[in-house]
Amino acid sequence: MPANRCPNPSCEYFNRALPNNAKVCPWCSTPIGNVVSPTPQQPSQPPPNQQQPSQQPPSQQPPSQQPPSQQPPVQYQRPPTDQPNYQVPQQAPVDYSTVYQPRVSYPPTPPVYTPPPQRAPVLKLIHTTGREFNLVGEGGYIGRRSQSPGIAPPEIDLTGIPNEGIVSRRHARVDWDWSQNAYMIVDMSTNGIYLNNNPLTPGMQYRLINGDSVRFGQDNLVNFTVYVV
């Protein structure tokens, strides 16, 4: 006897054997008017990997064509998001005790006092005519400027005074002595030097004091008074 089959191609039970007394398809409610001849060797039960008809949800039939009692419950699922799942790699915690070394406090360093450089006082020779000669620096020669080119003039140049011919080109040498705290004079002339009317030994140092009298030559023609200021 031919079996009833669902004629709806969109139904899950299309062309499947139905009960002989079924008038409509139990799944899509389509009236069974045409009898489709059974296909040979059609299994009466679905394969093991195929679900039962009552547990399979409709895939293509819209819910409006199903009876309300046979519609499966609607299950709402959260739509998938397109945002990628970023996973932040776990980093080992930083040990800040090894990054920063503890600071060591030091006592403040007092400023170093630098005394101002010492300067020698100024040596002045006052001629009997009132002309004044000053020594620039802490030492130099007393004499007369040479007429020969290439010879440097003395630090105390007596050129132009009366009887300047008595004065040699390098008549004397004067230097400030820090240990003696005074200017020292050395006779380097041929006519001699007299300190407070006392002749000086050539090559020997003698101390000059403020107010001393210095005479060049023995004729008492070139005289100076010493001032240390």
Residue 130 CA: distances (Å) to CA of 109, 161, 194:
55, 11, 20
Structure confidence by residue, pLDDT tens digits, 90-147: 777 766 555 566 777 778 888 888 888 788 999 999 999 999 999 988 999 999 999 8
Report the C-alpha gap between 144 and 161 in whole angstroms: 10
Fold of 123-228: Tumour Suppressor Smad4 (2.60.200)
Q: Model-level pTM greater than 0.75? A: no
For the segment 159-186, the average pLDDT, to the nearest whole number, is 96
The domains of the chain are located at 1-39, 123-228
Find out whether 20 and 35 touch, Cβ atoms under 8 Å. Answer: no
Look up residue 6 and give its DSSP letter. B
For the segment 62-86, the average pLDDT, to the nearest whole number, is 60
Tokens of 9: 């191609």
For the segment 34-61, the average pLDDT, to the nearest whole number, is 53
pLDDT at 159 exceeding the cut of 90: yes
Measured over the CA atoms of residue 155, residue 160, residue 163 and residue 169, the dihedral's sign is positive
Find out whether 200 and 185 touch, Cβ atoms under 8 Å. Answer: yes
Residue 194 CA: distances (Å) to CA of 6, 62, 207, 222, 228:
158, 145, 13, 10, 18
pLDDT of residue 195: 97
pLDDT of residue 36: 46
What is the pLDDT of the chain when averaged over all its residues? 80
